[in-house]
Amino acid sequence: MGLILGAFILLTPGCAGDPQSLLMDHLWTFEDFTTDSEDENVQSLVAFAKAFLTDATLEFQDGGVYILASPLSETPSTGTWELIGEDQLIMDPDGEDTASTGNIEVLTKNQLSYIETFTDEDSNTYTTTTTWVKAD
């Protein structure tokens, strides 16, 4: 699930408002999930995650709780979130041993995009990028 929740980003210049307020300002709708990996297993996992997240929503609540709801799951995923500085997002899913850490690439009132870095079984490093947009 850490791969699915990939979440950490570098702020774009000229971004109005503080990052925590921007995250909690509204509901986010899933837009895209990509990887720079050429490994077929990683690409398959990313394709699965992208399908699972299609039409999903993400809400960052005050008090450090997040809710990820996918139309393909009867029960939303929940966990805790924390923003370190302005560009590192930690999401710790309930019931899982590993939190995910992402670097925020874009955070505006209309878009959230973060990059996570992983190492595959052959010790190759790759990244995933998750993009959310403001829900209508």
Span 35-71, pLDDT tens digits: 999 999 999 999 999 999 999 999 999 999 999 999 9
For the chain, what is the total number of helices (H) and then of strands (E)? Answer: 3, 9
Architecture of domain 2-134: Beta Barrel (2.40)
Domain boundaries, given as residue ranges, for the chain: 2-134
> Which residues touch 48 (CB under 8 Å, ≥6 apart)?
none
> Global pTM?
0.84
Q: pLDDT of the chain along its 136 residues, tens only?
A: 444 444 333 333 334 578 999 999 989 999 999 999 999 999 999 999 999 999 999 999 999 999 999 999 999 999 999 999 989 999 999 998 889 999 999 999 999 999 999 998 888 899 999 999 999 7
